[in-house]
Amino acid sequence: MRADLACSDAVIMTKAIALAKQERPPKPKRGSAIARVPSNAFTAKDLAVAIIIDKSDQSRFIEAIELAVERRQLCESISWLSVAGQRVYFLREDISASDGESNHSPAGATAGEAVPKTDALHATRSTRLPSDFAAAFNTAFEKANLANGGLNFVKLSSLRDSLAHLSRDVFDAGLRDLRLRKLYSLESSDGASVRLTAEERAAGIKEGSSLFVYVSRR
């Protein structure tokens, strides 16, 4: 098996998942998020071990999968979600098979392109994101961060200004997606050292009792 296969190749990925199901069913761990992940979801390493014998080729296979995800070139029949900071891959058809269970997905499980149903993810799903949102956001962040002395602590208001062509809903849903993928993090203001303007407050994101006004890259 060639390790530098195109992970857009549905046949190979489907085969890898099928083999992984046979060889390494993940053990449920009581009380942890992993316990609730369907047993047909696997890490890239699980898939590599299932389908490739040579260890060095396994690493290349894992890299190829990660690259395909970054470039959004993963085949359409495969999806991933992030659990405890680690991507697990599964067949889309397996989601619909266990749709009933997916309502109990852990809140800590974060979504890739196709995701199980959770309240937290409905907002992302219901708002259609432009395909280049992440890239546009990264660029806006880098620019604002540089202007701010590179402290990795940028006000949401300046990012909204930079991405003014996006509606508030699209911006919020896109940022939420990036946070779920643990690429960015939000923080509120302590109010003691920095006095925020009304505009800066208005640009904030309210979650529970927190008003987030800063963004930093993880």
Partner 1 sequence: MAIDTERPSTADTSHGAKHTAGFFEAVLMSNPFLVNRINDPSQLLSDVEPIHADEFLRLVSLAQQSCSLGRGFGALLLGGAGTGKSHLLARLASWASSKCGRFDKACFVFLHSIHASAIGMSRYLLKSFMSRLVEDRLDRLHQTMLFRIVDAAMDAAATAEGIQFLNKENREAVYKALSTRLGGDSDVFAVVFRFFCSIEWASAIPEGPARRRHLENAAIAIRWLKGDLLDAEDARRIGRLVLPGHDTTQLSEDQIETVLLVVARLARVIKRPVILCVDQVDNMRSDQFTSLCQTLQSLIDNSTNTLVVVSGVRETILQRIQDRTLPEAFADRVDAARPIDVRRIDRDAGRQILQDRLHQFLVPFEDSLDVKNCFASDALFPLGTAWFDGTQADAVEVRPRDVITWANTRWCEIQTRLKAEGPSNWLATWEKTSLDRTIPRLTKAELIAAIDAKVAEKLEESLNNYRLNRSQLQANAGDLIFLTKSLLEQCLNRPEHGYTVTDVQERGGREIDLRVLESAKGRSVQNDVQFIVTRNKASAAHQLRKLRDSKGADRRILVTEEEREPLRPLGAEGQQRYRELQALGNDVFTHVCMDFDQFAMLASMARVIELARDMDLEIAPRGFPRPVDESQVIDSYHRQNRFRSMPLLRLFLTEEPAPEMTARKFPRAQFREFVLQELAFAPPKGLLQLIAIFEARFPNIESNSNDCYLPQSVVRELRDEGRIKATPCDNDIILQSA
DSSP for the chain, written as a single string: --TT--TT-HHHHHHHHHHHHHH-PPPP-TTSGGGGS-TT-B-HHHHHHHH--SHHHHHHHHHHHHHHHHTT-S-TTEEEEEETTEEEEEEHHHHHHTHHHHTT--TT-EE-SS----HHHHHHHHSPPPTTHHHHHHHHHHHHHHHTTS-S-EEHHHHHHHTTTS-HHHHHHHHHHHHHTTSEEEEE--SSS-PPPHHHHHT-EEETTEEEEEEEE-
- Is 102 an interacting residue with respect to partner 1 (CB under 8 A)? no
Q: Which of 178, 172, 181 is nearest to 203 (CA)?
A: 172
Given a contact cutoff of 8 angstroms between Cβ atoms, the answer to whether 91 and 122 are in contact is: no
- Is 126 an interacting residue with respect to partner 1 (CB under 8 A)? no
| Tokens describing residue 124 | 């992302």
64 vs 203 by CB, closer to partner 1: 203
- Is 149 an interacting residue with respect to partner 1 (CB under 8 A)? yes
60 vs 217 by CB, closer to partner 1: 217
- Is 106 an interacting residue with respect to partner 1 (CB under 8 A)? yes
Which span sits near partner 1 by CB under 8 A: 45-53, 138-146, 159-167, 205-213?
Answer: 205-213
43 vs 58 by CB, closer to partner 1: 43
By CB under 8 A, name the one of 153, 162, 183, 211 that touches partner 1.
Answer: 153
- Is 14 an interacting residue with respect to partner 1 (CB under 8 A)? no
Cβ at position 213, least distance to partner 1 in Å: 9
Cβ at position 69, least distance to partner 1 in Å: 20
Which span sits near partner 1 by CB under 8 A: 69-77, 87-95, 139-147, 177-185?
Answer: 177-185
Cβ at position 215, least distance to partner 1 in Å: 11
Among positions 183-202, residues that touch partner 1 (CB under 8 A) are 185-194
Chain contacts with partner 1 (rule: CB under 8 A): 30-33, 84, 106-110, 119-120, 123, 149-151, 153, 176, 179-180, 182, 185-194, 207-210, 214, 216, 218
